[in-house]
Structure 1
Amino acid sequence: MIRSGADHSVFYRHSQPNLCIYLVVYVDDIVITGNDEDGITKLKQHPFQHFQTKDLARLKYFLGIDVAQSSSGIVISQRKYALDILEETGMIGCRPIDTPMNPNGKLLPGQGEPLSDPERYRRLARKLNYLTVTSPNISFPVSVVSPFITSPCDSNWDAIVRILRYIKPAPGKGLLFEDRGHEHIVGYTDADWAGSPSNKRSTFGYCVLVGGNLVSWKSKKQSVVARSSAEAEYRATL
């Protein structure tokens, strides 16, 4: 197996004709996938001979991610993880809302009274950040509330609570991966210009689809101030 240069917990092996095996290791959990069934069978026999291991068959749950497999494809979500967040914050019975953030609102540092328990805000922001693993629809609002973790105010808390209210009606919303008959790689990117009210930096976002399936996405503030909208768009493609 060859260790991936992008993630050191991922290993892979490619062989002919067009056979591959991927292995993911996290502490004492291992996930194996690929289209080389004979190779996977032999690979699983190796740890059985050297360690006390257990084959749990088809993947159903891994690192807070629910996995549902069928003939039509694979669905991943974080329903249990999302419900745990709602229960921890006392929002399990909250009134749902249609949008994760106020489109006309602008968050500024020191806007409102400082929170008496800032650690609660930090913990919730970190949890929501992990929830974006299967929820690209909250990537942008989470990126907006995350910069205030050092000194959050009540206006920041209201914004993060709104995200929870958006999650409430469909905590199991996730991603579907299916065979659509092609392997084209398509990427989209966009950026605003000087959208941050505090430092006038632009925010960019991108998404990458492989075979019509969303595999990568991000929303982040640019590291420098763009002098024009063209510059902001250009930096978003880099």
Structure 2
Amino acid sequence: MRIAVLGTGTVGRTMAGALAGLGHEIAVGTRDPQATLARTEPDAMGAPPFGQWLKDHPHVSLVAFADVAADAELVINATEGAGSVAALSAAGSENLAGKILVDIANPLDFSHGMPPTLSPVNTDSLGELIQRTFPEAKVVKTLNTMNANLMVDPGRAAGGDHSVFVSGNDSEAKREVTTLLKSLGHQDVIDLGDITTARGAEMLLPVWLRLWGALGTANFNFKIAR
């Protein structure tokens, strides 16, 4: 499958590398490919420059948002939540129309310091905002309740015995995303319902952040016992 991963940060790199390893045709989207490749300093999280990562992943290409979305069969939003709508707008609503748009971002608001809050929250979600902004896309919210390493290798925690959620309005899109999740090793995939249920998945983040502080590691996830 031709998959576009929007975002060059840790989550985007991790998803792109793993999906390429499964045999998918992967292109990473960025606003300005030349500017991205020209960076020589580590990013805000201390990761090496994207150009260095790209040399180690020769089967992944770097393309402008609009071009990568136009060519893709499925698009993954791995941008920072605060900039997701702008990035997807740069990708072009016409290039997203009719396609599955997997949203794995979180609407973290750092404007008041740490820990971040959520915006939107309670009566709205980033997943819903993206679906409203791009009504012809088939938005599926998933994977936002775990760190990047667990997204692509769930066996790193509890042998993979934990849960992942999907939310979206299109049942077939959720089935296709569930198949993709299972190819990454996820077994307990819970369909929460339509895109409004993304509110619940996103509102797990305040708990997740505090667990990270209490446990001293991000290598954990939620398990729904039933």
TM-score (norm 1): 0.23
Q: Which of the two has greater helix per residue?
A: 2
Higher alpha-carbon Rg: 1
Higher relative contact order (CA 8 A, sep 6+): 2
Q: Which of the two has greater strand per residue?
A: 1
